[in-house]
Structure 1
Amino acid sequence: MKKALIVYGGWPGHEPEKCTEIIKGMLEPEGYEVRAEYQTSAFAEDYVHEMDLLIPIVTMAFHFDPRGEIKKTAVNNVIKAVHNGCGLAGHHGGMCDAFRQSIDWQFLTGGQWVSHPNGIHDYKVNITKKDDPIMEGIEDFDYHSEQYYMHVDPLNEVLATTTFKGNEVWKLEQEPGSSSGDAYTTEWLKGVEMPVAWKRRIGKGKIFYISLGHFAHELNHPQMNKIYKRGLLWASR
Structure 2
Amino acid sequence: MTSPSVDSPQPTRKALVVRGGWQGHQPVTITDLFLPFLRSRGFVVETADTLEVYEDAALLAATDLVVQCWTMGEITPQQSESLSAAVRAGTGLAGWHGGIVDSFRGDLGYQLLTGGQFLMHPPEFRDYEVRLAPEYTDHPVTAGLGDFRVRTEQYWLATDPLNDTLATTVFAAGDERERPVDMPVVWTRTWGAGRVFVSAIGHKPDDFNVAEIRMITERGLLWASR
The question of a shared fold, defined as TM-score above 0.5 by the shorter chain, is answered with yes
Q: Which residue of 2 aligns with 1:8?
A: 19
Q: Which residue of 2 aligns with 1:138?
A: 145
Distance 1:211 1:166 in 2: 21
Distance 1:217 1:32 in 2: 24
Distance 1:201 1:187 in 2: 32
Give TM-score, length-normalised by structure 2: 0.91
Distance 2:74 2:139 in 1: 35
Q: Which residue of 2 aligns with 1:176?
A: none
2:158 to 120, 127, 151: 151
Deviation at 1:166, TM superposition (A): 2.5
Q: Report whether the alignment pairs 1:57 with 2:69.
A: yes
3-state SS in 2 of match to 1:147: coil
Distance 1:98 1:219 in 2: 21
3-state SS in 2 of match to 1:187: coil
Distance 2:82 2:199 in 1: 23
3-state SS in 1 of match to 2:47: strand
Q: For each residue in 1:56-101, what CA deviation from the matched residue of structure 2 results, as whole angstroms up to 9, or x when unmatched?
A: 10001xxxxxxx2101111111111101001001000000111101
Note if contact 2:87-2:195 (Cα within 8 Å) is conserved in structure 1. yes
Sequence identity percentage? 39
Deviation at 1:186, TM superposition (A): 1.4
Deviation at 1:131, TM superposition (A): 2.1
| Letter matched to residue 20 of structure 1 | T
Distance 2:34 2:85 in 1: 24
Pairwise CA RMSD: 1.1
The count of corresponding residues between Structure 1 and Structure 2 is 212
1:225 to 207, 214, 218: 214
Deviation at 1:219, TM superposition (A): 2.3
| Letter matched to residue 156 of structure 1 | N
Note if contact 1:20-1:36 (Cα within 8 Å) is conserved in structure 2. no
Task: Provide runs of 4+ in structure 1 moved above 6 Å.
Answer: none
| Letter matched to residue 38 of structure 2 | L
Mark the runs of 5 or more structure 2 residues left unpaired by the alignment.
1-11
Distance 1:73 1:217 in 2: 35
Note if contact 2:150-2:207 (Cα within 8 Å) is conserved in structure 1. no
Deviation at 1:33, TM superposition (A): 0.6
Give TM-score, length-normalised by structure 1: 0.87
1:91 to 80, 87, 96: 96
Q: Which residue of 2 aligns with 1:181?
A: none
3-state SS in 2 of match to 1:114: strand
Q: For each residue in 1:21-45, what CA deviation from the matched residue of structure 2 results, as whole angstroms up to 9, or x when unmatched?
A: 1121221110111111111111111
Q: Which residue of 2 aligns with 1:203?
A: 192
Note if contact 1:125-1:140 (Cα within 8 Å) is conserved in structure 2. yes
Q: Report whether the alignment pairs 1:36 with 2:41.
A: no
